[in-house]
Amino acid sequence: MNNPLQSENYSLRQQLETLLLEARRNEEKMRRFDQLERQLIGAGSLLELVHLLLTEYKLAFAVEHVTLALVDKDYEATRILENGPGSDSGLSGLTLLQSSIALNALYGEMRHPCLGVFSPLHHQALFNTAPGAIASVALLPLTRQGELIGSFHLGSADPERYADDCGTDFLERLSEVIAICLESALSQERLKQVGLTDALTGVQNRRYFEHRCPVEIGQARRYKHPLACMFLDIDKFKRINDTYGHQTGDDVLRGVASIIQAQLRSGDTIARYGGEEFVVLLPQSEWHHVRQIAERIRGSIEETHFQAHSGHAIKVTISIGVSMLPTRDLAGASQLLADQLVAAADKALYLAKHNGRNRVVCDAALPPGSAKQPLWRWIPALPGARWCRWMLAAPGELIGALKRLKRA
């Protein structure tokens, strides 16, 4: 009589212990998820938020594959993520889409998580993994005001992990939190951009440049790639303001900023330094390429037909000073090196102004192996300047010139 009761009692105790153990596991999971949710809400930038989703949630969910797709119609997220510190890491698994067409096709009219068997036809593009690596998936639509702004994807090698009959309450809450955090992060980034953008020209301002320059120097030191700085100043800009008015001067500033930006890559930095001065950072750019870019900018501005509000044509030119971060002896703080880099470009700009304007002058401290331009090219075309050019030319050029004079 006692044996059946004891067996039943033992079985009940085993079941109770199993339930308690499962409850403790679930409690621990919920505690971890709560911590991660708080981290998402407290993320200080879009980059930090994306990093949390792609790395921390992979560990929290204990799944093999986690990816994220964001709709980025105006390339806003692209610019933010490219320019953020640490943008070279933590973004594996992120896809930026120009439209929501693909996501609308994926979810149809549904706006709640989809769980089920992995389909190579429908899901391979979301994960880009080797065939057979994923058996089941959980797809979380990210929506705000009824519009799809992205999609969060979890992939598991366990076919039972995300069965289509599993509950989705937690995943629905997670998708709502992620969508809200993404919208909030983008709003914060927009506010930052307002404070770091020049209202007149639309390019970055000096405050942004002073923040960005040490970051770029840190990257150059870490990866040992070249970094160039250009200081640009519109020639005789005060005369334009005094002659044609400040409204025309503003138009010229906007036009010049646009021309400079058109010659740069997406990873380069342009900022209005103050007044009619601009400054540019060109990471991973060799010396001869920097000179070519500077000359293209100078030539494009000289060839552009600016027009005053009165209808008069305005000739605008620009002077450019160029410097390079030394490839050796980079000891010291990044801020100190940033100050030295800008000061060298500013000094070269002063020489460009002093030697006649509308020219590119490079810092005297050329990197090893760089070819200096003949000095006579930088002497202004003043009366008698040809004699100076001959004196500074190579010996062969000087002898040839003297022979021609003798024959004449």
Is the pLDDT at 404 greater than 90? The verdict is: no
Kindly report the average pLDDT of the chain as a whole number. Answer: 83
Q: How many other C-beta atoms are found inside a 10 Å radius of the C-beta of residue 121? A: 6
pLDDT tens digits, 133-145: 999 999 999 999 8
Assign a CATH topology to domain 199-369. Answer: Alpha-Beta Plaits (3.30.70)
pLDDT (0 to 100) of residue 379: 38
CB atoms within 10 A of CB 248: 19
Percent of the chain at pLDDT > 70 equals 85
State how far the Cα of 264 lies from the Cα of 279, in Å rounded to an integer: 12
Q: What is the pLDDT of residue 40?
A: 86
Residue pLDDT, tens place only, 208-240: 999 999 989 988 888 889 999 999 999 999 999
Angstrom distance (rounded) from CA 263 to CA 325: 21
Stretch 284-313: mean pLDDT = 93
Please compute the mean of the pLDDT values over residues 376-398 and round it to a whole number: 39
**Band of residue 62 on the pLDDT scale cut at 50, 70, 90:** confident
> Residues with catalytic annotation?
276
| Phi and psi at residue 37, to the nearest 5° | -65, -40
CB atoms within 10 A of CB 206: 15
Predicted TM-score of the model (pTM):
0.59
As its CATH architecture, domain 19-195 has 2-Layer Sandwich (3.30)
Of 180, 299, 274, 278, the residue nearest 229 (C-alpha): 278
* Tokens found for residue 393: 């030319």
Sequence ranges of the domains in the chain: 19-195, 199-369
Confidence of residue 369 (pLDDT cuts 50, 70, 90): very low
Which tokens is 175 given? Answer: 């998708």
Higher pLDDT: 5 or 311? It is 311
Calpha distance 404→145 (Å, rounded): 81
pLDDT single digits (tens) 252-283? 999 999 999 999 998 899 999 999 999 999 99
Beta-strand pair 318-324/227-234 = antiparallel
Beta strands across the sheet bearing 94-97: 94-97, 65-71, 147-156, 136-144, 114-117
Label residue 318 by pLDDT band (50, 70, 90): very high
pLDDT of 377 higher than 70:
no
Residue 121: predicted pLDDT: 87
pLDDT category at 32 given cuts 50, 70, 90 is confident
What is the rounded distance in angstroms from the CA atom of residue 105 to the CA atom of residue 95?
Answer: 16
Question: Residues 209, 279: contact at Cβ < 8 Å?
Answer: yes
Tens-digit pLDDT profile for residues 73-123: 988 888 788 766 555 555 789 999 999 999 998 998 888 899 999 998 889
More confident residue, 331 or 335: 335
Work out the angle at residue 175's Cα, subtended by the Cα atoms of residues 122 and 118, and round it to the nearest 5 degrees: 25
